[in-house]
């Protein structure tokens, strides 16, 4: 299919048919590429560093290798609980009866008494801040009746999120040969959790939580070391080693770090800090275009209207080496002949962004509104125009 091609940079602006477009100056000279050093050595079995907005992976090792998640499992449990709250199936004020199964959980605990009733809100804080296995199982039973059914829900949601390397058999992260995930999957999950539930994500920045007269600190040491870190979750078993999913927000750029299998509590914090510092030092994330904002106006044939506005259906973010923004160039390809009817959201071209001759982003240009077929006379006039044009 033939396409019309518009080229533009991200520096100069030109107003075309009432729409602000970005113009490529043919005489412009791209800035010299900034050399980005490789990621520093990280003492862990696997890790990944990813930008939250663009999804760009800035560093990784064994990111797709199956590993034991330990209490990082509770990120998936929390995602499901948050979704139940969002849909109104449960409420923060709901009182949950602590079963003997939940009460007998080993490892990290919130120390909820068997037979007592505890609010969903307190159990969430116990699960997130104290990493309480008893609180997690109690929540799982409250949502699904049994922990095994809740685990099935976890696997279903993992599939929906695109976590292709994960399988869960329990809610709290107890060791099991069939209970595993990957660093990449945990980054996918964390990204979704922060994006979908920002109102609940703030729980991950709590430094401590007191329940039943016992105050327990958040085991994420970065919360006390780095003011830009606001989460996320620790995990540890003898077989999994020391694990940490962390996230930090600096100058409107958010990074997610996943470190699996470090040698100690302090090491997982240090290695995570090293990854975050590397990403913020050498990369920068830009929002190039906003969703649902017109990027082009094109002629539409045989429709109720003569013009169709095209744009993006989601924000276009790009993570690039620092200092390279002015070197970006973009081109916009648009279908040469668009005929009504037009469905809102239907693609009629693409925006392509290039850095140093390499494509770094591509996103569909879609119709920002629906346009029905025009009347008989309009269709006839346009048919003649197309015939002789």
More confident residue, 35 or 222: 222
Q: Which domains does the chain have, with CATH numbers?
A: 4-30+290-388 (2.60.410.10), 46-282 (3.40.710.10)
Check whether 282 has a pLDDT greater than 70.
yes
Check whether 387 has a pLDDT greater than 90.
no
Q: Determine the pLDDT at residue 376.
A: 82
Q: Are 31 and 326 a contacting pair, CB within 8 Å?
A: yes
Q: Are 63 and 44 a contacting pair, CB within 8 Å?
A: no
In three-state secondary structure terms, 360 is strand
Alpha-carbon distance of 214 to 209, in angstroms, equals 8
Check whether 97 has a pLDDT greater than 90.
yes
Q: Which residues are known to be catalytic? A: 71, 74, 131
What pairing do the DSSP bridges indicate for beta strands 253-262 and 208-211?
A: unpaired
Check whether 3 has a pLDDT greater than 50.
no
Note the pLDDT tens digit of each residue in 21-41. Answer: 332 222 222 233 457 899 999
The model's confidence at residue 6, banded by pLDDT at 50, 70 and 90, is very low
Q: Are 264 and 242 a contacting pair, CB within 8 Å?
A: yes
**pTM of the prediction?**
0.87
Alpha-carbon distance of 335 to 331, in angstroms, equals 13
How much is the average pLDDT of 299-321?
Answer: 90
Check whether 62 has a pLDDT greater than 70.
yes
How much of the chain exceeds pLDDT 90, in percent?
A: 79
The model's confidence at residue 16, banded by pLDDT at 50, 70 and 90, is very low
Largest CA distance in the chain: 85
Q: Are 147 and 101 a contacting pair, CB within 8 Å?
A: yes
Compute the mean pLDDT over every residue in the chain, rounded to the nearest whole number: 89
How much is the average pLDDT of 158-174?
Answer: 97
Residue of 71, 81, 68 whose CA lies nearest to 105: 71
Note the pLDDT tens digit of each residue in 259-269. Answer: 999 999 999 99
* Rg of the Cα atoms in the chain: 25
């Amino acid at each position: 299919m033939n396409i019309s091609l518009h080229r533009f940079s991200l520096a100069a602006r030109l107003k075309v048919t009432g729409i602000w477009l970005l113009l490529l100056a043919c005489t412009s000279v791209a800035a010299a590429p900034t050399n980005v050093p490789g990621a520093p050595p990280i003492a862990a079995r696997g890790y990944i560093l990813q930008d939250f907005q663009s999804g760009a992976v800035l560093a990784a090792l064994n990111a797709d290798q199956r590993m034991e998640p330990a209490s990082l499992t509770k990120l998936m449990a929390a995602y499901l609980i948050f979704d139940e709250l969002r849909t109104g199936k449960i409420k923060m004020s709901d009182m949950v009866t602590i079963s003997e199964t939940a009460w007998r959980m080993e490892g990290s605990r919130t120390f909820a008494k068997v037979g007592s009733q505890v609010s969903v809100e307190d159990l969430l804080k116990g699960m997130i801040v104290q990493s309480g296995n008893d609180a997690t199982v109690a929540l799982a039973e409250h949502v699904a009746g049994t922990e095994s059914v809740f685990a099935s829900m976890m696997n279903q949601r993992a599939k929906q999120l695109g976590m292709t390397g994960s399988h869960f058999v329990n809610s709290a992260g107890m060791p099991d040969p069939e209970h595993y995930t990957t660093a990449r999957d945990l980054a996918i999950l964390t990204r979704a959790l922060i994006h979908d539930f920002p109102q609940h994500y703030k729980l991950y920045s709590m430094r401590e939580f007191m329940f039943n007269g016992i105050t327990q600190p958040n085991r994420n040491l970065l919360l006390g070391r780095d003011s830009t870190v606001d989460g996320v979750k620790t995990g540890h078993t003898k077989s999994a080693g020391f694990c940490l999913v962390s996230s930090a927000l600096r100058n409107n750029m958010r990074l997610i770090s996943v470190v699996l299998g470090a040698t100690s509590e302090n090491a997982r914090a240090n290695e995570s800090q090293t990854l975050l510092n590397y990403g913020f030092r050498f990369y920068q994330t830009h929002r190039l275009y906003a969703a649902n904002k017109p990027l082009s106006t094109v002629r539409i044939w045989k429709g109720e209207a003569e013009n169709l506005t095209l744009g993006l259906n989601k924000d276009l973010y790009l993570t690039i080496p620092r200092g390279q923004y002015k070197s970006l160039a973009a081109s916009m390809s648009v279908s040469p002949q668009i005929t009504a009817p037009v469905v809102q959201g239907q693609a009629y071209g693409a925006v392509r962004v290039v850095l140093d001759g390499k494509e770094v982003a591509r996103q569909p240009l879609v119709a920002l509104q629906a346009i029905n077929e025009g009347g008989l006379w309009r269709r006839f006039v346009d048919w003649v125009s197309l015939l002789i044009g």
